[in-house]
Structure 1
C-alpha cells in the first residue's frame, strides 16, 4: 500500500513513477541485462525441458482420449450392428423353427391321415372278408340244411309209405324239397 502512495506522491512532484522507482531502487544496466539474459536462459531451459514435455504429454493424452472416444463410438456402432444381426438371426431362426414345426405338424397330420386311411381300408377289408366268410358259411349251412332236409324227407317218406324208395324217388323228393325251401 505504501508503494502506491509513494508512486502517487512522486507523480505529483512531476517526475513520473518510473523516475521515482529508479531513484529509490537505483538503475544498474549491467545487472538488468544479466538478469534479462538469465531469465531468458531459464525460460528457454524450462520451455525445452519442463514445459514442452508437459505439453507433449498433454497432446499425447488428448490424442489417446480422442482415439479412445473414437474407438468407443466404433465399438458402440459395431455392437449395434452385431445386436441387429443377432436379432435378425434370432428372428430368422424363430421363423425357421415355426416353419419346421408347421411342416412337422402337416407331415404328422398327413401320416395320421394316411394311417387312418390304411386302418379304414384294413377294417373294410376285414369286414368284407368277414361278410364273405359269413356268406360262405351261410351258403354252406343252407346246403347242409337242404341235404339234411332232403335226407329227412326221404327217410320220413320211406317210413310213412312203408316201402323202400328207389334212388330216383329219393332224388325227386330231394329236388322237390329244395324247390320248396328256395321259394
Structure 2
C-alpha cells in the first residue's frame, strides 16, 4: 500500500493543484454569476406567473359576480315588466268597464229622452186628435142643426 500511495503523491504536481483551484474558482463564479441570477430570475418569473394567475382568478370571480348581478337585475326587470303589464291590463279593463258603464248610462239617458219625446209627441197628437174630433163634432153638429133648421 505504501508503494501505491507513493505513486499517487508523486503524480500530484503543481498542474493538478492549479486545475483543482481553477475548477473550484469556476464553480464559485458559476454559482455566483450564473446559478444565483438564474434562480433569482426563475423565482421572479414564478412570482409573476403567480400574481397573474391571482389577478386572472380575481377577474374571473368579478366577472362571475357581475354576471350573477346582471342576471338578478334582469330577473327584477322582467318581474317589474310583468307587473307593469298586469297593471296596464287591469287599468285597461277598468277603463273599458268605465266606458261600458258610461255608454250604458248614455244609452239609458238617450232611451229615456226618446221615451219622453215620444210621450210628449203622443200627448200632442192626442190633443190634436181631440181638437180635430171636437172640430168634426162641432161641424157635424152644425150640419145636423143646419138640416133641422
- TM-score norm. by structure 1 comes to 0.73
Equivalent in 9, 12, 32 of residue 27 of structure 1: 12
2:12 is paired with a residue of what secondary structure? coil
Question: 1:17-166 residue pairs with structure 2 within 5 A?
Answer: 19=5, 22=8, 26-28=11-13, 30-162=14-146
For structure 1, the 5+ residue unaligned runs are: 1-14, 164-183
Q: Counterparts of 2:100 and 2:24 in 1: how far apart (Å)?
A: 108
Structure of greater Rg: 1
**Structure with the higher helix share, 1 or 2:** 2
Question: Which residue of structure 2 lines up, in the alignment, with residue 3 of structure 1?
Answer: none
Q: Distance in 2 between matches of 1:54 and 1:20?
A: 44
Kindly report the root-mean-square deviation, in angstroms, between the aligned alpha carbons of the 2 structures: 2.3
Q: In the TM superposition, what is the alpha-carbon distance from 1:128 to its structure 2 partner?
A: 0.8
TM-score normalised per structure 2: 0.88
Which secondary structure does the structure 2 equivalent of 1:162 belong to? helix
Structure 1: distance between partners of 2:54 and 2:7: 58
Aligned length in residues: 147
Higher RCO (CA-CA < 8 Å; seq separation 6+):
1
